[in-house]
Amino acid sequence: MKTVLSGIRPTGNLHLGNYYGAMVNFLKMQEEYKCFFFIADWHALTTHPDPKTLNANVRNVLSEYLACGLNPEKATLYVQSDIPEIAELYLLLNMQAYLGELGKTVSFKEKARQNPNNVNAGLLTYPVLMATDILIHNANYVPVGKDQEQHLEMTRNFAKRFNNKYGVNYFNEPTAFASNQQMIKIPGLDGSGKMGKSEGNCIYLIDEPKVIEKKVKGALTDNGPEGENTAKPDCIENLFTILKVVSTQEVVDYYDNLWNTGEQKWYGNLKKQLAEDIIKVTTPIRERINDIKNDEVYLNKVIKIGAEKARESAGKTLREVREIMGFRSL
């Protein structure tokens, strides 16, 4: 069975973009593949979170993953820092990663530009840690967005380099998960192309209905259609994109028809409907998040089982890599 791996940095709560862009696919994958889903708390260290926040965010993400339906009996759900084997493989792979290639990485250059006072070594070697996350389970597929494509390419390079250097065919060359359908991108409610934490335009799964209503009500719109069958401006297209994932086809057709006939003054109703349908999706998830977050016993059990399963897989890889590299008993 093919192996899928995906990690998430614990930097905040999950939003509708994470849910429709990633989680919905994970829920399908866990039925069909051997899946590893992990919380990348070592990766989060590049921005120096304070200990309390880091810990709270790990608990949040884990609770939200479980509340969305990730099943710890089907997939392996774990916290990166629970797996010391990752740290050792990271050290080994770092010896074969070169300053030139690491310094050229788009995400590194971007982060260094944004934050010139914190260009730490962890930021530079971020792609090596990411490659380690993937190679430690010899994963075949990694569901990544376009922004992560370069890191995956580097992972393939590290895998090939290792195989060539030691004359083995040990590491797979992982590829981006090719989903049958087009990846959905959830836009922001501010007319921007993407809903994202750093964009500050998110509807979070944990948002109370009142908060969602307020956010949707405040979504950017235009003055209405300027005639029949005109093209929708981005801000209106964005509302329809979200409507398409949360509402029924009839609802989408109804509002599409209003747009196409050129009628005016229905945006208020559209927003009401949109908020209502988002709330329908998020309410059961929000309720589960709140239950799970307070269930210390369950969370600890999930973490423990996940760490055991992940360490079994990681330990096997590390033993084999050590052997290949010459770390044998004397």
Active site residues: 111, 194, 197
- Looking at the DSSP bridge assignments, the partners of residue 204 are 15
Using CA atoms of 217, 223, 228, 233 in order, give the dihedral in degrees to the nearest 10: -70
**Which residue lies nearer to ligand AMP by CB, 17 or 306?**
17
Q: How many residues bind ligand AMP (CB under 6 A)?
A: 14
Among 7, 10, 21, 72, binds ligand AMP (CB under 6 A): 21
**CA angle at 202 for the pair 236 and 242, rounded to the nearest 5°:** 35
Residue 292 within binding range of ligand AMP, rule CB under 6 A: no
Q: What's the gap between Cα 233 and its chain centre?
A: 28
Main-chain dihedrals φ then ψ at residue 229, nearest 5 degrees:
50, 40
Q: Shortest approach of ligand AMP to residue 8 CB, angstroms?
A: 5
How many CB atoms sit inside 10 A of residue 1's CB? 8
Residue 244 within binding range of ligand AMP, rule CB under 6 A: no
DSSP 8-class letter at 15: B
Which of 330, 312, 327, 269 is closest to 76 using CA atoms?
312
Residue 194 within binding range of ligand AMP, rule CB under 6 A: yes
**What is the footprint of ligand AMP within residues 214-243 (CB under 6 A)?**
none
Among 84, 145, 262, 268, binds ligand AMP (CB under 6 A): 145
Residue type, 80: Q
Residue 22 within binding range of ligand AMP, rule CB under 6 A: yes
DSSP 8-class letter at 147: G
Residue 195 within binding range of ligand AMP, rule CB under 6 A: yes
Among 49, 122, 196, 233, binds ligand AMP (CB under 6 A): 196
Distance CA 187, CA 196 (A): 8
- Name the strand (E) or helix (H) holding 242: helix 234-246
**Which residue lies nearer to ligand AMP by CB, 89 or 186?**
186
The three-state secondary structure class of 53 is helix
Q: Shortest approach of ligand AMP to residue 95 CB, angstroms?
A: 29
Residue 284 within binding range of ligand AMP, rule CB under 6 A: no
**What is the footprint of ligand AMP within residues 104-143 (CB under 6 A)?**
none
Interface mask toward ligand AMP for 154-193; x: CB under 6 A? ------------------------------xxx-------
- Looking at the DSSP bridge assignments, the partners of residue 36 are 5, 76
Chain residues in the site for ligand AMP (CB under 6 A)? 8-9, 17-18, 21-22, 145, 184-186, 194-197
